[in-house]
Structure 1
Amino acid sequence: MYVPPAFRESDRDAIHATMRAAGLASLVTATAEGLICTPLPMLLAPDEGELGTLYGHVAKANPQWRAPPAGDALAIFMGPDAYVSPSWYESKRVDGKVVPTWNYVAVHAYGPVEFFEDADRLLEVVTRLTDRHEGSRAEPWAVADAPPDFIRAQLRGIVGVRLPIARIDAKRKMSQNRKPEDRAGVKLGLAASADPGDRAAAVLIPE
């Protein structure tokens, strides 16, 4: 990912927060058959390794896990994003020399991917993923709520994913390259939007 210095995110906690907040990641591997990409929820274990380790699972019918990857895999996480109208810039009223752009947060995590079928490891991953996403519910569902033999049968239909992160490219493009008055206009414009995604992006624009 191309990351100009003005947009580079280097704070580990902020990067991990973006990864945890993303409901879905995209796992990309380069294979002899070409690129393969699978959208899947991924769980971050922040204390496993210097940069953390990612866990998830794919369907056993998915060919991605059977195709040996050429080099590292890539997990893509997207944060808030929004279209930026030139009409929000103070610069538009000064000289008109403005164009549209897109603000966004993205994290690309690279590392050697491992696919595994061990039932105990799969159960741990599925349980941790479920607990993470059910935890905020008033009446959370737990893997243990289902019959054990049913869960074991379900586990036979998936393959686990483990990706120890070796390198991260993180980008926070939130109008940092614009003048303060332009940033203020973008912040106001996005904050006034009816789109929740626009309002989430507005919060990230620096003063």
Structure 2
Amino acid sequence: MELNLNKHISGQFNEELEQIRNDVLKMGGLVEQQLTNALNAVNNSDQALAKRVLETDYLINRMEVQIDQECTRIIAKRQPAASDLRLVLAIVKTITDLERIGDEAERIAKVALESFNKTQQEFLVSMDNMGRKAIHMLNQVLDAFARMDVDAAFEVHKSDKILDKEYEAITRQLMTYMMEDPRSIPKVMDVFWSVRSLERIGDRCQNISEYVIYFVKGTDVRHTSEKDIQNNVLS
């Protein structure tokens, strides 16, 4: 879907802005697939799939560099102002968070290379449930970015609380299990760091939702409460 970008003397400028926005969505799609594959690898103990996630992480890194270079070129050549500059800045920040989500997916995939006993497998199920919520959150924020929809972005922003609560609940379970069976600590810590990665993915998605709001509304809402965003920015 095309944005209502400003009319420019150079139609090529519009095309350049649209192209980098589309590139961000392609990168986001790749990150979403990596995260899905990582969780499927853990859930199915699929080491081959896990290795594929690890081997293809470089694609995300390469896309981040390419998009960042294009944004730098546009700033230098076009000297964008107002909403055009906000769009370029939002894109630069978004690809940084997407690259870091890719890193978290890589960490999760490494868990699939380990073996777990039956009790420990139950924690992997809890992690998978949390992971599906993280995938949905990523999908929703990419959709909000594609449409530059502030209401959809705000819904993603609010949903991070759900992921945080799941993270806290699973962490308590893992801590209890490790105290009861100290020999399990190394394996359970692998699960803990993966759950921590999912919590961070939620934070990254929340960041991207803030960039969407920044582009559309022209207001930086980082470190702003949901109540203030709703009353002072979106109203």
Q: TM-score, normalised by structure 1?
A: 0.25
The structure with more helix, counted as a fraction of residues: 2
The structure with more strand, counted as a fraction of residues: 1
Q: TM-score, normalised by structure 2?
A: 0.23
